[in-house]
Amino acid sequence: MSIFKAFTPVIKDEYGNILKNSIAEMLMVPLGNTKQSVIIRGNDRSSPVLLLVHGGPGSAETPLFRHYNAVLEKSFIVVYWDQRACGKSYTKRDASAPLCVQMFVQDLCDLAMYLIKYLGKEKIYLLTHSLGTLLGILAAVQHPELFYAYVGTGQVASMPESELESYCFALQSAREQHNDRAVRELEVIGEPKNGVYASGLAGTRTQRKWLNYFGGAVFGSKSMSKLIFSFFTSPEYSIADILRFFKSLNAPARNKLSQGEFLKTDLFDTIKEIDVPVYFFLGRHDYQVASVVAEKFFHAIKAPKKELIWFEQSAHNACFEEAEKFNRLMVDMVLPAAFSL
């Protein structure tokens, strides 16, 4: 890692030679009124394109995907994208400019069209995480012609219902473990109403603190700090990029979006059918974006093909918590989707 200059390493074979038909590029792509960071990597330029859509709002995950899911570069051309006001794409202007969900969806569709043209493809695959599932599923509904298949992990369905499930999980866990401090703090903020706590962002932060403590975000003995460590070892992130990442987490526009439009999202009434193959990869213990709600949504929607796979040792981050299983299914189950319809 170069702490002062970010780069993406060339892809080499077992003898240390650069793979002849590989691709390893870092770009700033014009999307809307911004330029956004895109890293393109793959062993073979003839492979299909997989666009990674991270969560948030504001939580860029390029170093996490590079650390846990880089093996996918052997089967796909993997595109790591830092969304507007996030990570390597963060700017002061975007941090305070008004944001809305459809703005990100349009960026995603514009990027998909850019990649199709730039890499000479017919369509691309979507792999989405957390808030990225909302952006991805809306893009797939609005422009199914751009995508071979949609994969959602940490899938958004109804945020008001999910937030209530999340709160109840944290409070029940606190009571079962006789954690008086957690019980007291959770009872003070009270149940969320329509996804929002009476104390606003402060209430959400209190609830998330205890949710994380009781394993509703990262399951079992795993820890979020271990996941975050990848940001400090990624060659694609310089010190300046790491600072941008942390600034984006507390950007005013990001907080306004996360406490407003995002927490009011309910897809049960707005999405009934998706015209691409759909795959939900859900962590059994996910209460950050409750997988029990995502399961109901999965059964409610129609698609030409759909599969739900449970990750029994994961919470909200199945793509990182059970990376080996996740990566295998992406190749064995999702990749053939383009050829099975």
Q: Over the stretch 95-114, which tens digit does the pLDDT of each residue have? A: 788 888 999 999 999 999 99
Q: What's the mean pLDDT in 140-150?
A: 98
State pTM to two decimals: 0.95
Predicted pLDDT of residue 99: 85
Does the domain spanning 23-159+219-339 belong to CATH 3.40.50.620? no
pLDDT of residue 252: 75
Residue 68 has pLDDT above 70, yes or no: yes
What is the reported pLDDT for 223? 60
Average pLDDT in the 137-154 region? Answer: 98
Q: What pLDDT sits at residue 263? A: 82
Over range 227-236, report the average pLDDT.
78
Least confident span in 172-176, 182-186, 195-199, 295-299: 195-199
Residue 59 has pLDDT above 90, yes or no: no
pLDDT at 2 over 70: no
Q: Which residue has the higher pLDDT, 258 or 116?
A: 116
Q: Is the pLDDT of residue 222 over 70?
A: no
Per-residue pLDDT at 213: 94
pLDDT on residue 97: 84
Over residues 265-270, the mean pLDDT reads 94
| 1 pLDDT more than 50 | no
Question: In terms of Cα–Cα distance, which of 71, 73, 68 is closest to 231?
Answer: 68
- pLDDT averaged over every residue in the chain: 92
- Percent of the chain scored above 90 by pLDDT? 79
Query: What tens digit of pLDDT does each residue of 311-339 get?
Result: 999 999 999 999 999 999 999 999 998 77
pLDDT of residue 224: 63
